[in-house]
């Protein structure tokens, strides 16, 4: 390797590193702006306490979706910078790999879909007093994958949404 090739390699590497850092910074800024807009939009909706709890839960769900979408976009942009990967090549690999990943991600997908329907059907909201899978307490958080219940004695129980079969909701 000649000195000129080494200088070109270093210069290109530093330029790519700068681009990657810029993509990460832009991703963080956009994510925070959208997160703030979601919180503001759902904070201004008037209604009962139950409506407020449901809005907080929906806002949290949208923020989680945004977080995962931002991770995907930033990772793809960085791969494109360093490897020159195109969207077509990425989709081809994702199509083949998606089948294999799909089998391994069945529980994750089940949890996400169940959590979405729990939220949209209004069966649960943050702040509800519930009994799920033998655990009684207040719903502290509902995410894409799991529901967190805080019992009277302060114990936090995390239940994957896909395992929620029977709900007793004392807040309705």
CB 128 within 8 A of CB 139: yes
Between CA 4 and CA 8 the distance in angstroms is 6
Out of 14-28, 84-98, 128-142, 151-165, pick the least confident: 84-98
State the pTM of this model. Answer: 0.55
Task: Give 152's pLDDT tier (boundaries 50, 70, 90).
Answer: very high
pLDDT in tens, 52-67: 667 777 788 788 888 8
What is the reported pLDDT for 56? 75
**Fold entry, domain 119-169:** SH3 type barrels. (2.30.30)
């Amino acid at each position: 390797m000649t000195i000129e090739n080494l200088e070109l390699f270093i210069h290109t590497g530093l330029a790519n590193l700068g681009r990657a850092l810029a993509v990460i910074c832009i991703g963080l800024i956009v994510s925070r702006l959208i997160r703030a807009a979601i919180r503001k939009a759902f904070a201004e909706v008037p209604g009962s306490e139950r409506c407020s709890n449901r809005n907080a839960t929906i806002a949290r769900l949208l923020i989680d979706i945004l977080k995962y979408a931002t991770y995907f976009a930033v990772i793809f942009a960085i791969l494109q910078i360093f490897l020159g990967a195109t969207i077509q090549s990425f989709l081809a690999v994702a199509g083949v790999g998606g089948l294999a990943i799909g089998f391994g991600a069945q529980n994750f997908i089940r949890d996400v879909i169940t959590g979405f329907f729990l939220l949209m059907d209004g069966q649960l909201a943050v702040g509800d007093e519930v009994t799920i899978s033998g655990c009684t307490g207040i719903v502290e958080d509902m995410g894409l994958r799991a529901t967190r219940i805080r019992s009277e004695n302060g114990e936090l129980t995390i239940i994957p949404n896909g395992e929620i079969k029977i709900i007793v909701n004392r807040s309705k």
